[in-house]
């Protein structure tokens, strides 16, 4: 006999977790299946202890050849998600790039503080465990962690069929890094004459997708169609609108960390900004103090075609575009003028496309874009 509420009822089987739509065994199988992918991201700091309830990462190496020997280490942590871009992924059944987006949105914020990413954890909420879908999501998360040179040490998959409809899911990420206190980013160091460098984005990244999806709906755009004005009609190399919009957020973390390590004594980078919701000006202002302005030249960088396409098809005002999207610049560094060229060259060697956006002047903590394109 099965027991329900502490009382025996002959001939009836008690309710189980599976009856409520949660399959513990499926979740366990998925967790076991991703262990190899996680270990691909492990560096010498990770203590590999299978079966634990949390991941362990050392702040320093034990190996003497690689010791960082932090004198005053500061932990830096941040969390983020992919936003409504997940809806586009669900509509297109495209999941792997969303994992890269998830890592990017966290680690790109982390390195703004001059921190080296150490670890990443994910949270995936689903209606039901679908091994194929979750496998694609994890493939992207692993890839993102490899690109960012941080360890994927754990995560959580929550099966909640009473909150999510069949086929629906949501993602959240959490990252932790470390920085020597004396090397941490400090906006008070930004001075008039400093140069603002911008790193090209890979497209829309992971902000503004509520507006993107509204434009697609309003203009009755076909996500499976190739629009030459966006990607060019180049035969097999042409991308559909959906593929262009699903291009993952560029991960800048490894490039930034390598550049910062190259200047071990001089603090040549005085400020940084990850360009997300709020646009270029809005995010760059977060890197300034109240006695300086950033004056940028709109002609100093190329706006990718996807933004003009969305603006035209949605009849969106340019100011609204600048406020919502990165418009082609995904990350900014503020650099001492005598080092601007050398920093730019180092970043280009890391594969980044670098724009000299403008300079820092005396002001009130504002970022201004001159000769804004219409």
Q: Which residue has the tokens 């679908």?
A: 130
What does the alpha-carbon distance between residue 252 and residue 273 come to, in Å, rounded to a whole number? Answer: 11
Q: Mean pLDDT across the stretch 207-215?
A: 96
Domain ranges across the chain: 22-47+71-183, 187-370
Q: φ, ψ for residue 145 (rounded to 5)?
A: -65, -35
For residues 40 and 142, the answer to whether their CB atoms sit within 8 Å is yes
CA dist 239 and 245 (Å) reads: 10
Phi-psi domain of 264 (left: phi exceeds 0; alpha: psi -120 through 50; beta: other):
alpha
The encoded tokens of residue 304 equal 């990718």
Which band of pLDDT confidence, cut at 50, 70 and 90, is reported for residue 54? confident
Tell me yes or no: is domain 187-370 CATH 3.90.650.10: yes
Lowest-confidence segment of 31-45, 79-93, 110-124, 296-310 by average pLDDT: 31-45
pLDDT of residue 70: 78
CA angle 113, 114, 116 (to 5 degrees): 110
* Global confidence as pTM: 0.86
Residue 9 has a pLDDT of 45
Looking at per-residue pLDDT, the higher value among 39 and 24 belongs to 39
**22-47+71-183 CATH choice from 1.10.20.60, 3.90.170.10, 3.40.50.620, 3.30.1330.10:** 3.30.1330.10
For residues 306 and 207, what is the distance between their CA atoms, to the nearest angstrom? Answer: 14
13-35 average pLDDT score: 60
Average pLDDT, integer, range 320-337: 97
Q: Which of 203, 90, 177, 105 is nearest to 137 (CA)?
A: 90
3-state secondary structure of 111: helix
**In the structure, what pLDDT confidence band is assigned to residue 169 with cuts at 50, 70 and 90?**
very high
d(CA 50, CA 238): 44
More confident residue, 361 or 156: 361
How does pLDDT run across 261-301, given as a tens digit for each residue?
Answer: 999 888 999 999 999 999 999 999 999 999 999 999 999 99
Could you list the beta-strand ranges (E) of 160-267.
169-180, 195-200
Residue 213 has pLDDT above 90, yes or no: yes
């Amino acid at each position: 006999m099965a027991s329900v509420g502490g009382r025996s009822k002959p001939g009836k089987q008690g309710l189980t977790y599976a009856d409520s739509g949660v399959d513990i065994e499926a979740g366990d199988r998925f967790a076991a299946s991703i262990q190899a992918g996680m270990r691909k991201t492990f560096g010498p700091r990770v203590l590999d202890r299978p079966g634990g309830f949390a991941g362990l990462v050392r702040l320093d190496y034990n190996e003497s050849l690689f010791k960082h020997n932090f004198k005053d280490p500061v932990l830096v942590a941040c969390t983020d998600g992919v936003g409504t871009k997940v809806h586009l992924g669900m509509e297109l059944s495209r999941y792997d790039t969303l994992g890269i987006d998830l890592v990017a949105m966290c680690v790109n914020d982390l390195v703004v503080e001059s921190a080296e990413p150490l670890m990443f954890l994910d949270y995936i909420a689903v209606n039901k465990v679908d091994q194929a879908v979750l496998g694609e999501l994890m493939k992207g998360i692993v890839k993102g962690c490899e690109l960012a040179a941080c360890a994927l040490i754990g995560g959580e998959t929550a099966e909640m069929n009473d909150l999510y409809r069949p086929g629906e899911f949501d993602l959240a990420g959490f990252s932790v890094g470390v920085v020597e206190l004396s090397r941490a980013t400090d906006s008070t160091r930004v001075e008039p004459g400093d140069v603002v460098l911008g790193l090209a984005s890979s497209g829309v990244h992971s902000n503004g997708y509520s507006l993107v999806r509204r434009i697609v709906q309003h203009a009755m755009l076909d996500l499976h169609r190739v629009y030459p004005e966006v990607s060019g009609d180049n035969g097999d190399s042409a991308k559909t609108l959906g593929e262009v919009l699903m291009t993952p957020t560029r991960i800048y973390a490894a490039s930034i960390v390598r550049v910062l390590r190259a200047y071990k004594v001089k603090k040549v980078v005085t400020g940084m900004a990850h360009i997300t919701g709020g646009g270029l000006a809005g995010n760059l202002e977060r890197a300034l103090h109240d006695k300086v302005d950033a004056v940028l030249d709109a002609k100093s960088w190329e706006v990718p075609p996807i933004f003009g396409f969305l603006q035209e098809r949605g009849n969106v005002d340019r100011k609204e575009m600048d406020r919502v999207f990165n418009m082609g610049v995904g990350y900014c560094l503020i650099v001492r003028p005598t080092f601007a060229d050398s920093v730019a060259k180092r970043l280009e060697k890391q594969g980044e496309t670098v724009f000299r956006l403008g300079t820092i002047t005396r002001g009130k903590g504002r970022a201004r874009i001159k000769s804004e394109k219409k």
